[in-house]
Amino acid sequence: MAFLHQQPLNCLGFDIAKDTITVSDGLSKSAHAIRNTHGDIRAFLKRAGPDFIVCEPTGGYELALLGEAMRAGIACHRVDIARFKGFVRSLGTRGKTDALDAAMLALYGRERWSALPLWQKPDAHEQKLKLLVRRRHELMAIKNAEQNRAKAPAHKPLAASFKAIIAVIQRQIEAIEHAIAAVIRQSSSLARRAAIITGMNGIGPITAAALLALLPELGTMSRRQAAALAGVAPHPADSGTKHGYRKMHGGRPEIRTVLFMPALRAAAGRGEFADHYKRLVANGKKPIVAIAAVMRKIVVTLKARLRDHAPIPQS
């Protein structure tokens, strides 16, 4: 990840909607509104001359701004929503308007610039893989919901409807999985990393694809950073002489879901970390705590293997 090395002189916050963008420097009370088109954005950036841009993720409506900023050589940061909201709450700000949001984004960039990673255009294959993995996740959630409804006694008269919908969803899931495999084959980088990840006993191609899509930074960070970003790092809850129960939170919670099944496999005595799980339980760890530790072990081990580019063959 890249960061700014000197404080920006002209930091602007951009609150982005489908058709319009509200811009503020966070200092003056006025805000500017421009259309969310490449031409209008390009003209505004040339006129305003910012050296740092801060915006929120808006489902893709921010991509025109980020693309034009990159083309103009302007550093930009797309905020982590949870961190940004924490910053806004720390200021005691309760109101919400487009102008106020833009001002808060500018203020966030001005105060936290040294710790904000710069946005970089993602690899096209990685971007497509992320979309496919997220779509599969959505389809799996719909399928599970339909299956649960079909089991309810009151829904027996609708059994044919549930069966038909589940069959359609299953075909869509299979099509998405074929597309995921094709995207990985088309990219030498993704194919190499997928081979390393699936080289771990207990990790299959679907889990590997999810890790590549949801945790692309794996292999480029420290073990603690990897565990924290994956949401499997235990955080202390101590105060005075009290030592509270450490819990996992933060990071990217969807990755915990991805890692749970390989960890559960280890708990069943299979996979690469079955012995690690047994040792933890033998040492007095609760089963759920041991499973969490295995999840963390998987992330840290994969981080090291991706860093060293060394696939480990399955036994």
User: Length of the chain in residues, anyone?
Assistant: 315
Q: What is the pLDDT of residue 315?
A: 43
25 φ/ψ angles, rounded to the nearest 5 degrees? -95, 0
Average pLDDT, the chain: 92
Contact 214, 231 (CB under 8 A): no
Report the C-alpha gap between 64 and 153 in whole angstroms. 50
Report the C-alpha gap between 226 and 238 in whole angstroms. 23
Residues with pLDDT less than 50, the chain: 312-315
Question: How is the chain split into domains, by residue range?
Answer: 11-115, 123-186, 200-315
Angle at 272 between CA 270 and CA 274, to 5 degrees: 50
124-151 helix and 188-198 helix, angle to the nearest 10 degrees? 50
CATH superfamily of 11-115: Ribonuclease H-like superfamily/Ribonuclease H (3.30.420.10)
Q: What is the pLDDT of residue 221?
A: 85
Q: What is the pLDDT of residue 273?
A: 93
Q: What is the pLDDT of residue 311?
A: 53
Q: Report pTM.
A: 0.81
Structure tokens given for 7: 């404080």
Report the C-alpha gap between 264 and 131 in whole angstroms. 27
- Report residue 56 CA to chain centroid gap: 14
Contact 211, 257 (CB under 8 A): no
Contact 129, 209 (CB under 8 A): yes
